[in-house]
Structure 1
């Protein structure tokens, strides 16, 4: 057997950690007419064998050969050609550590398919998927001047036919049609990269190149992506490079040493999640992570990646007390290696997968998250606005009579609203771990809870920033999300829940139809306060502009008191205004207080006289 099964040029790039597509060379590669080539990175191992269905799981049958001369670049990789291996067979790696100890059998880090938990073998895949470039229409739909309204979905619990996991084809038949009917522009899936523990919802992944077996064979994912695009929807995947679980078959101590993780627990162990932190400075780890990001965009044609837990990557002292973290080489708290890796990932996607976007779940005030790399930023296209979410939900938890004292929680977000390209997230994180549902956070009786949530959705859809809503909240699920059961779809038989769903549909349609509500989402020129200081009545109002003469007004009343003849100053140059949407309308379950479609003339003093419904948001446009 030859000692060099990897081409010299590729081996040199792999050894430097600079190969843009390591998945094409590492892992199990089907070579037509020859068998399957297995290749793995394990520099400290004394011996590596591949074991599986093709050799009776006998480590003596197919030892791997070091690639390159001993001590030379590339010698840290091992490879073997197995003529009898074929797609669909199970396999793992048997490694002997540097101390001669036989390690637990390891799954393939570059596996493109894996067994369903609790089993953990990798699966020999078929041919690599062909490159999938985004169509021009999809690229345009992901831009910052486009309407972006994201429906966040945990695919294992959106529907549970007969109590089991849905297949990709079942999801493809139902989910894109549902999201498109509600007017969403994108679906975002919680992590689908293979993970061992259901209760992690995919956020403790061990298979960064393998679609989870929970939903059937990987090729089903391609049909799901196509179904989304056929409905005019973009598909975003949650992607987790920040940490990985300690399961023995995974990346931990992969070759008998801390290969993928930092060696020092002050750098390499997540206290919050009992997980390990990748060594973001090690070339082979950087290549593994950057390659995974490009793989999902290029081989599966997804529109982009929402990168989880970015704040935990950026700071070495994240969730660590003094004395239990190590500073960087400059003595600071920033993780310089992680910062440069995120920049590399975003540069690579920009160059190799045109149109694909990245979104950062980043909860700190780190500057330039969505600024280009060439301008010193991290290079993300969008950042989740966690501050907006926390402030507004804290405000709404207050009894209406007390909201006057917390008015700034609704206005403060506009102080920094255009520092980044923001997404306003009402995500799964807000409806788990005892936090209840969005509806359950609203005070008062049932009528007030529903009315307040409707008003909040109107406030959100009228506010600068792209939108994200977690599944079930579109029809006001009253209970906390349970990942083990499907959504309570029977609630849609009840008028208030059906009315909430109709409101979300109408808000999405309005957001998409009116350029003023989306074109300058990320530009200060697209926003102006009309009423920011009426804390006594808990009323806020602003204008949204499209930069081409179009304007929409948004007015929110966060008390249960209707206010008639409310005088609101309006932009000059328009003789009259009419109501586009009222969250208190009867069709949404409201009390039908408002302006009832009447034309509202602009008065001599530059104001209009409004009827403000209780706990409601209005949208108006020049008549």
Structure 2
């Protein structure tokens, strides 16, 4: 008789391996096997009194052959199983070992090669119909495991019950009929040393609420996007010549529902409230601190465990899509903080995933972050690169994310980052550069821009590493933008000094222009500046309360007038007086007070001005867009010109960083005629003194400062005044201008009107 038509004989050793959870070839032993007539079925199922087979319209008991092993002949064709426990309870289920593989040869080839750009479509947990039955396909990469089982609510977390099939080079898979959306699961792994591990799914789409650690089956198909107009046009909104003003948000602490136990807003509540607020404030983009699932609230998401799972803290995946969709329909881009630099050591995560240093380095000199007590990805392993690059594409494609801000890039670029001599391993040439991480970042950017046209990537990079935002084919890392950390540090140091000392530190303001065009820069005032004892942005400013507010308003005016895209952390837009607390919400009570409302109104108007005037954004990364007029260290004053393309009205920005008013302050300007005072940070409406220029000034003086004309302006104390050329004398003044003797000023600037100037 042909071996394919004989009853399956299982040896005592094989029976023991099944009962001890050591079997690594379950599909060779279990499930149906053809006979000359009908088929032979073998089932391993612990803790049953009886097991019956429902087939061909009837039910027959399957004999127990040894221990928890049942086997015998059954009719040909599909079947189901009926189990009976010792208590008498009965249930029916389909046999997972009756189903063939789901992964095809191409998936396995790309996974082995490390080039599967849509890796999440192969690995993870996928609700599907397979061989006519509804269930979930599970697949995981664990090449050094001796056995991998999927465990969960459906099998009492017993790894003996559903060992998986090994396919390809280190991939394990199984189709579990009847397992549907919302089911909790993990992978139980028998490692090479005989240890048993339970791990969350590295490519899982959902997780339990922390501190619980299981993955959750989530069906991420079938969302009805309504953002086609935004997706078709976003490339123009994210170009380096576009106005980009970013509101950075920690989703868990922007607002809380104090009438519901102080819980954070859900994704759907954010879709209504946060989106409306960001739109009203005139920002062009919303940036979310990491939303990939993370175990510890105090990490703010920067120590993720589930890179493919939007955190369940605020709702399931489709509700996160609701937030993105709402932002897009409001004309806002959505950016995510993304953390490919390290991961936590939590036992249910990636650390020694299959009992070996699979995702990380074995040597702690390469694989352990001393600053954060986290593990560093092994970028030299193609499968790890694939895992991370596919994750970037996943967020961009599955969630329509418009850009990724890559965290802690400096720590990735250098092998000696935050390490002493002897604590790091040089590269193959004896240097400190991390060649593998550099190659990874280049490939990530090439792939992301190729797979999701119109997106943008940003590097949080604090060193002078060259060409971070240059294209890869020009020798760069390929990022669209780089955070200008040097500008942020220098200018905040300057602003924190008493005005009487600022003249001795004049270069802290001007130095940024010496390298402003070496990268496509974003000027970031991020969460890092208002935590860990650094205090609030407001209280970094010197002087009494009025002076602190005036200094902060002047700083914002300077920032929005300076070349570079803008980023502001939540709460800073209304001068929150306290340091940020991730366990609470922003101080919205303070936001209702007049001085705070004034700062909020200023930021709103600065955004309107920035978006409406091409001179303030179109040439942010081009030296032709900026020209110094004059700087005076003794008076702590600065003046410069911003230019757009031909036909765009030039803009002049004048800063006075002392509390001394300066009437009749004469500066050179590129055009004679009327210059409208488009914004004045000292306007009464912003909480200032109300000193201004009566709506504008006439440039009717002789050439000065290398310019063909000049004008005498009034500089209020601790202020920035922005002038726009070409507005007729009869046109309305900008918000906060002293117009017709009224120090309260006029209504807000209309960006559409500004664009016509």
Task: State the TM bucket, normalised to the shorter chain.
Answer: over 0.9
Deviation by residue 1:349-383 (Cα, 9 ceiling, x = unmatched): 11110001101100010001000011110110000
1:205 aligned counterpart, secondary structure: coil
1:276-287 paired onto structure 2 within 5 Å: 276-287=375-386
- The answer for the alignment partner of 2:401 in structure 1 is 302
Q: For residues 163-562 of structure 1, what are the structure 2 equivalents within 5 Å?
A: 163-532=262-631, 534-549=632-647, 550-562=649-661
Give the aligned partner of residue 45 of structure 1. 145
TM norm structure 1: 0.97
- Alpha carbons 2:669, 2:699 under 8 Å: kept: no
The residue that corresponds to 1:110 in the other structure is 203
2:702 is the alignment partner of 1:574 = no
Q: 1:27 aligns with which of 113, 120, 124?
A: 124
Task: Give secondary structure in 2 for the equivalent of 1:377.
Answer: coil
SS in 1 for 2:326: helix
Structure 2: runs of 5+ lacking an equivalent: 1-96, 704-708, 728-757
Q: CA deviation at 1:424?
A: 0.2
Within the alignment, does 1:119 sit opposite 2:219 as a pair?
no
What is the Cα deviation at residue 101 of structure 1? 1.2
2:246 to 120, 139, 150: 150
Of 58, 67, 70, the residue aligned with 2:158 is 58
Give the distance between the partners of 2:308 and 2:401, measured in 1 at CA: 14
Please state if 1:607 is matched with 2:706: no
Separation in 1, partners of 2:222, 2:572: 35
Partner Cα separation in structure 2 for residue 324 and residue 414 of structure 1: 37
In 1, the alpha carbon distance for the partners of 2:402 and 2:701 equals 47
What is the SS of the residue equivalent to 2:512?
A: helix
Q: What is the DSSP-based 3-state SS (H/G/I as helix, E as strand, rest coil) of the residue aligned with 1:156?
A: coil
Structure 2 equivalent of residue 6 of structure 1:
103
Hey, what's the Cα distance between the residues in 1 that align with 2:339 and 2:634? 44
User: Secondary structure, in 3 states, of the residue corresponding to 2:605?
Assistant: helix
Cα deviation for residue 34 of structure 1 reads 4.1
Q: Distance in 1 between matches of 2:220 and 2:497?
A: 57
Structure 2 counterpart of 1:18, from 115, 118, 132: 115
| 3-state DSSP of counterpart to 1:174 | helix
Structure 1 CA distance, aligned partners of 2:266 and 2:217?
20
Q: CA deviation at 1:3?
A: 7.2
Residue 81 of structure 1 and its aligned partner are, at CA, apart by 1.2
Structure 2 residue 180 is matched with structure 1 residue 86: yes
1:91-130 per-residue CA deviation (whole Å, 9 max, x = no partner) reads 0000011111112x10000000101100010011114366
Deviates more, 1:50-59 or 1:197-206: 50-59
Higher relative contact order (CA closer than 8 Å, sequence separation 6+): 1
Scaled by the length of structure 2, what TM-score is found? 0.80
Per-residue displacement from partner, 1:41-67 (whole Å, max 9, x unpaired)?
001111100000111111111101110
Partners of 1:291 and 1:598 lie apart in 2 by: 54
1:58 and 1:495 mapped to 2: Cα distance?
A: 62
The separation in 1 between residues aligned to 2:346 and 2:475, in whole angstroms, is 37
Q: How far has the Cα of 1:131 moved from its partner? A: 10
Superposed CA offset, 1:433-486 (max 9, x none): 000011010011001100000000000000000000000000000110000001
| SS of equivalent residue, structure 1 residue 13 | helix
Q: How many residues align?
A: 614
CA contact (8 A) 2:208 2:216 kept: yes
Instruction: Give CA deviations for 1:1-29 in whole Å, capped at 9, x if unaligned.
Output: 47743100110110111100100010111
- Whether the 8 Å contact between 1:54 and 1:84 is mirrored in structure 2 is no
Distance 1:464 1:456 in 2: 14
Structure label with greater radius of gyration: 2
Aligned equivalents of 2:618, 2:169: Cα separation in 1: 53
Given the alignment of the two structures, is residue 135 of structure 1 paired with residue 235 of structure 2, yes or no? no
On the 8 A contact 1:577/1:602 being kept in 2, the answer is: no
Query: Which structure 1 segments of 5+ residues have no match?
Result: 68-73
- Corresponding residue number in structure 2 for 1:70: none
Partner deviation per Cα, 1:383-406 (whole Å, 9 max, x = no partner): 000000000000011110000000
- Once the 2 structures are TM-superposed, how far is the Cα of residue 302 of structure 1 from its aligned partner? 1.1
Post-superposition shift, 1:610? 1.0
Does the aligned pair in 1 maintain the 2:251–2:288 contact within 8 Å? yes
Aligned to 2:720: 617
Q: How well do the aligned residues superpose, as a CA RMSD in angstroms?
A: 1.2
Matched residue SS, 2:694: coil
Judge conservation of contact 2:410–2:460 (CA < 8 Å) in 1. yes
Distance 1:214 1:600 in 2: 57
Contact kept in structure 2, 1:131 and 1:300, CA below 8 Å:
no
Q: Is the 8 A contact 1:95 1:255 kept in 2?
A: yes
Maintained 8 Å contact 1:3/1:65 = no
Is contact 2:672-2:710 (8 Å) kept?
no
SS at match of 2:629: strand
